[in-house]
Structure 1
């Protein structure tokens, strides 16, 4: 697969991390599903806690790795802050709340926490593995990535609050750490309110608006086909060269354009890899050897047709004058 979708070194590192993280979370989920019915929730921590706590560090490690590998020149934005805080929160829950007080891990809330985190991050890292490698993803992963928080967010929120509350029974009264735990517990609800708003906003921007644009583009193309505005290119076309990224912005326009090329024209099509140095372009050579080039990522199919039709009309006028 690497030959079809070559990646630069920094993206290879991120792809490897996402794939490894998805595998680790999958193994953690399988281990949980096997051990829970065998040993029960009270003995579950002995068989999974150490592994689960290490795997829970992947969001924090992943944030630092991705930030340094892919976005080292980009300033922090709101989504970066939420990602960083999320990684720190998970590390603190595991090593600041549960690890010092192992008895609280026997509570049902710990099992719920494991299940919710495993489900959430299994799909999260699987989705981003596809995105890094192919610049796309299966639709079901795309949908789950931006909707699974409806299930996992309440589960993890409630289980984390219960575990923090239980840990208060094991810390020294009046200690600084007791105050820290109490403050964190009280702050969970207001912070969760803003976190939920962030997740909803992310869903609206990265899923709903994307799907609306896809639907609008499909409807526009269907209307153009029905009205005949995407009729085939003129017969004066001699050679056609189309270079496009199958997962890029101009892929749809390029495919529609190819379907309109006259059967008499010689067609050469080149599918570019996502990281190819070649630019996407449509190059048409007419029978009078005039060459015209256009970028399919900047024009829609109707604009491209009008662009090439201009020279065809010019050729038709010259031909009528000669006659």
Structure 2
């Protein structure tokens, strides 16, 4: 009887964990479908107005959820600044600097081709990541796979995501907007300096894990 009572909270945690990853995978799939539908209809000029708010809410949801599950499963004794959580911190950072709140529909930055490339790369990599985590714990080092989806993720989508994000960050420092103060611009330039070396290090670790 006592063993059954102990198992019930554990089952609830497992179900909630699986729900988070299933919902995140399907929401990123919905993001990709939304982009596929909107782009031919409205072109890049009006794309941000139909997708940007959803994109930002989704990035915050998946990033914060991943961090909370990491703490729940691993505890604070494990370093939160690992490869697993650097991705989550990066997503929150992107929302903070690229979500202009009041005028994102008219931002030239979000009408660039790199914005669409970022959406495609992010959608696929996050769908692949969350789907693989549904029946696993939050391990930062998942087993390598030789499936077509794994190869597509490793050799096309991750580089596409890194390159498009770098270009978006570069444009953000070059295009004037009143949302970026001097300190924000300085911090964004520092991120740009460390971005490529850090991405290469993380990508190498992903390929040769």
TM-score of the superposed pair, with normalisation by structure 2? 0.78
Aligned-residue offset at 1:58 = 3.6
**Alpha-carbon distance in 1 for matches of 2:35, 2:181:** 36
Secondary structure of the residue aligned to 2:26 is helix
- Residue in structure 1 matching 2:119, options 114, 119, 135: 114
Cα drift, residue 108 of structure 1:
0.7
1:100-151 Cα offsets, whole Å, 9 max, x none, are 673110111100100110011112111211446xxxxxx9896634761321
User: Which is worse superposed, 7-16 or 165-174?
Assistant: 165-174
Question: For the residues of structure 2 that align with 1:128 and 1:183, how far apart are their CA atoms?
Answer: 32
Equivalent position of 1:319 in the other structure: none
Q: For each residue in 1:37-73, what CA deviation from the matched residue of structure 2 results, as whole angstroms up to 9, or x when unmatched?
A: 1111111111010001111124422322322332237
More helix by share: 2
Deviation string for 1:179-205 (max 9, x for gaps)?
Answer: 112111122111112111221233xxx
Q: What is the alpha-carbon distance in structure 2 between the residues aligned to residue 13 and residue 46 of structure 1?
A: 32
Structure 1 residues 147 and 108: CA distance shift in structure 2, 3 A? closer
Q: 1:148-167 to 2 correspondence within 5 Å?
A: 148-167=153-172
1:76-123 per-residue CA deviation (whole Å, 9 max, x = no partner) reads 38xx61122111111211221343673110111100100110011112
> Which residue of 36, 41, 45 maps to 1:42?
45
CA distance in 2 between partners of 1:174 and 1:98 (Å): 15
- For residues 77 and 60 of structure 2, the distance between their equivalents in structure 1, rounded to whole angstroms, comes to 23
Rounded Cα–Cα distance in structure 2 between residues aligned with 1:18 and 1:38: 30
Query: Any idea what SS the aligned residue of 1:75 has?
Result: coil
* Counterpart-to-counterpart distance in 2, 1:174 and 1:126: 39
Shift in CA distance, 144/119, structure 1 to aligned 2, threshold 3 Å? same
Report the CA distance shift for 1:17/1:58 in structure 2 as closer, same or farther (over 3 A). same
Look up the match of 1:192.
199
Pair 1:49–1:81, CA change in 2 (3 A):
same
Counterpart of 2:132? 127
1:206-245 Cα offsets, whole Å, 9 max, x none, are xxxxxxxxxxxxxxxxxxxxxxxxxxxxxxxxxxxxxxxx
TM-score normalized with structure 1 length: 0.52
Shift of 1:9: 2.1
Q: Alpha-carbon deviation of 1:155?
A: 1.0
The 2-side partners of 1:140 and 1:37 are apart by 34
Contact 1:22–1:121 under 8 Å retained in 2: yes
Q: Is the alpha carbon distance of 1:171 and 1:11 closer, same or farther for their aligned partners in structure 2, counting shifts above 3 Å? A: same
Does residue 17 of structure 2 align to residue 8 of structure 1?
no
Cα deviation 1:222-279 (Å, max 9, x = unaligned): xxxxxxxxxxxxxxxxxxxxxxxxxxxxxxxxxxxxxxxxxxxxxxxxxxxxxxxxxx
Tell whether the 8 Å contact from 1:109 to 1:159 is kept in structure 2 after alignment: yes
Structure number with larger C-alpha Rg: 1
1:20, distance to aligned residue in structure 2 (A): 0.9
Look up the SS of the partner of 1:170 in the other structure: coil
Q: Does structure 2 retain, via aligned residues, the 8 Å contact 1:18–1:126? A: yes
- 1:194 and 1:28 map into 2 onto residues whose CA distance is 28
